[in-house]
Structure 1
Amino acid sequence: MTFNALLLDKTDDGLSLEIKSVHEDDLPEGDVLVKVDYSALNFKDGLIMNGLVKLVKQYPHVPGIDFAGVVESSSDDRYKPGDRVVLNGWRVGEIHWGGYAQKARVKADWLVPLPDAISTRQAMAIGTAGYTAMLSVMALEDHGLTPEQDGEVLVTGASGGVGSIACAILARLGYQVAGSTGSESSHNYLTELGVSTIVSRAELEEAPKGPLGGERWIGAIDSVGGSTLHHVLATLKYWSCCASVGLAASNELNTTVLPFLMRGVTLQGIDSATCPYERRVVAWKRLVNELPSDILETMTHEITLSELPSYGKKILKGQTQGRIIVNVNS
């Protein structure tokens, strides 16, 4: 049996990215064969497709770090043909062939059963970005954050995939949300998601005048990193938490210990790739209940496999908004 896949391959001139016919026998080993319905475009996918990170070890390679679809066959008793599943993480789309293909074969432990109330399309509209956003909200809650606290929760990179969904979830739960973006055209979009205060990206890229700035946020979800994360840590209120979920700007952190010693600030890293199964299941169940379908549709744009290469460049330039999902069968 053959199917279509977007293959990343090495050439004499660098890398090629083409839709090609692939045979099932070419798929990597795994317990479960899935007929993929949708994948999504994430920032990491853009980096991989354009050869800007050295995550791919063997070529040809199928990118796409997440997917949702239906089980075709399984050697694991937990899954049977017809079951709907979703996959996030586990280095799929990096060292294991990913979601930009009409079929995928993976280990059963990497999958999560899809809740009945959600379609495979909605699952990828949520995707790794939304799943990571929910894990971030859960981390802030674990640290004691509640909607009753006086103040705003800051979300950086608010118009991106993780940021958009984090804003929508927090607003739905009753928090006052401040969203930081570098795109003026996204202001109305963020307001529709429930953001009450828009903060310019430039403001957060400037370092505070001292090692600590004024106490401003009761919590934060940062998907930018670099100087922005330094600014966020220095302006969090006493005993608050920042969930760090991405390092788009830089993985360097030029800060001091003072936010941690003088204000008891916590920096919580969110690793959605290898999150324990039980927490993954809870996160997906909560996403069904706490992310309204109308809001999800507002932030979603669907593309085809053939459109992926151009969108892979757009996402790196900050020219996309919300969630970009890929219908691999169109």
Structure 2
Amino acid sequence: MDSFQAMVVKKTNDDVKYNVENVTLAHLSDGEVLIKVTYSSVNYKDMLAVQPNSGVVSDYPMIPGIDLSGTVVSSANDQFAEGQEVLITGFGTGVNHTGGFSEYARVPADWIVPLPKGLTLKEAMIFGTAGFTAALSLQALENQGMTPEHHPHILVTGSTGGVGSIAVQILSKMGYPHISALVRKEKQVAVAKSLGATDVIFASELGDGKKPLNKQTYDYVLDTVGGDVVARLIPQIRYGGSMSMCGNAGGLKLSTNVLPFILRGINLLGIDSVNVPITDRPAIWKKLANEWNVAATTVSNDVTLQELTDTIDAVKNGQHLGRTVVDLS
């Protein structure tokens, strides 16, 4: 192809701008595999990538988009063949390596996951990094003993966002009977309940978090926002319980005390979805393609490359619900 379209982020002095442009293969980062991108998706990190001084992108110009799914066009690695359907999330995609907001992507072979049986290219991006992160969080909590049979009380923060909405749906599908959804706005209540939440709690109801120990309320917390919400929830986790943490939209700092850890034996489980070893990824995606597949019921909408700006603005302004898939087909 002579040229194709991609969203390009450029920086001049302290000014960052992004637009859809015609580019060529010369604009793409190096890699053994060239992919015709069919779908990408929009994540919080993608919004940060086009903001000045966010620290996400340091080398300009850059094509953002941390997720993509599509078909192999050519490969210098014998693990992948022309016409094979594949997906990529994380690593350096869309951050320091040109990413998924482009009709073509060129990537290292060891970043690629073959599309698992039972999942379409579009479903892979309905999940994307958000679904992958939700699955990692759930797996970490289950490794700490969370099972439906024990009827645990579980709280999901950011419950109508990308990670949280998928987590709530998977928990509901797996038969967990007590799923509390944390919301901030009245309009999110109906959405959370439609996802499978059995109870909805407003962030304003969590208390001020000043007590070193509070009433033991939740066995497990799946946190997606970080910051002050985490500080207020730690003292409410029951003896031997756990909290997974995967996001920072609510802030980077965490102010807490040691008593919940040394008197109740609770666990904080850090979740990284970016650098998970490629050998560990297929098993997670197999679950998302099978017993954890909630793509059909996930709140999602489709946009074109040209419509991306409005979605990015919605994410920035806290007005984005569910998942947005970028259709590059």
- Band of TM-score, shorter chain: over 0.9
1:144-293 pair list within 5 angstroms: 144-175=145-176, 176-204=178-206, 206-289=207-290, 290-293=292-295
Which residue type is aligned with residue 102 of structure 1? Answer: E
- Structure 2 Cα separation of the partners of residues 184 and 212 of structure 1: 29
Partner of 1:324: 324
Query: Once the two structures are superposed, what CA deviation does each residue of 1:199-235 show, in whole Å capped at 9, x if it has no partner?
Result: 102223x433411111111111101111101122111
- Structure 1 Cα separation of the partners of residues 190 and 93 of structure 2: 35
> Do the aligned partners of 2:209 and 2:233 also contact (CA within 8 Å) in 1?
no
1:84-95 pair list within 5 angstroms: 84-95=85-96
Partner of 1:97: 98
Which residue type is aligned with residue 192 of structure 1? Answer: S
Which residue type is aligned with residue 296 of structure 2? Answer: D
Aligned with 2:239: secondary structure? coil
Partner of 2:83: 82
Residues matched between the structures, number: 326
Aligned with 2:110: secondary structure? helix
Percentage of identical aligned residues = 38
Which residue type is aligned with residue 152 of structure 1? Answer: H
- Structure 1 Cα separation of the partners of residues 167 and 53 of structure 2: 27
Partner of 1:308: 308
Which residue type is aligned with residue 301 of structure 1? Answer: N
TM-score, normalised to structure 1, is: 0.95
TM-fit CA distance, 1:12:
6.0
Partner of 2:24: 23
TM-fit CA distance, 1:117:
1.3
> Do the aligned partners of 2:74 and 2:81 also contact (CA within 8 Å) in 1?
yes
Aligned with 2:225: secondary structure? coil
Query: In the superposition, relative to structure 1, how do residues 209 and 252 fare at CA in structure 2: closer, same or farther (>3 Å)?
Result: closer
> Do the aligned partners of 2:155 and 2:179 also contact (CA within 8 Å) in 1?
yes
TM-fit CA distance, 1:129:
0.2
- Structure 2 Cα separation of the partners of residues 97 and 156 of structure 1: 31
Aligned with 1:238: secondary structure? strand
Partner of 1:50: 51
Partner of 1:294: 296
Query: Once the two structures are superposed, what CA deviation does each residue of 1:155-186 show, in whole Å capped at 9, x if it has no partner?
Result: 00001000000000111111121010112112
TM-fit CA distance, 1:25:
2.2
Partner of 1:39: 40
Aligned with 1:233: secondary structure? helix
> Do the aligned partners of 2:117 and 2:289 also contact (CA within 8 Å) in 1?
no
Aligned with 2:82: secondary structure? coil
- Structure 2 Cα separation of the partners of residues 113 and 60 of structure 1: 29
Aligned with 1:71: secondary structure? strand
Q: Name stretches of at least 5 consecutive residues in structure 2 with no aligned partner.
A: none
- Structure 2 Cα separation of the partners of residues 21 and 125 of structure 1: 26
> Do the aligned partners of 2:116 and 2:286 also contact (CA within 8 Å) in 1?
yes
- Structure 2 Cα separation of the partners of residues 302 and 50 of structure 1: 23
- Structure 1 Cα separation of the partners of residues 265 and 65 of structure 2: 38
Partner of 2:9: 8
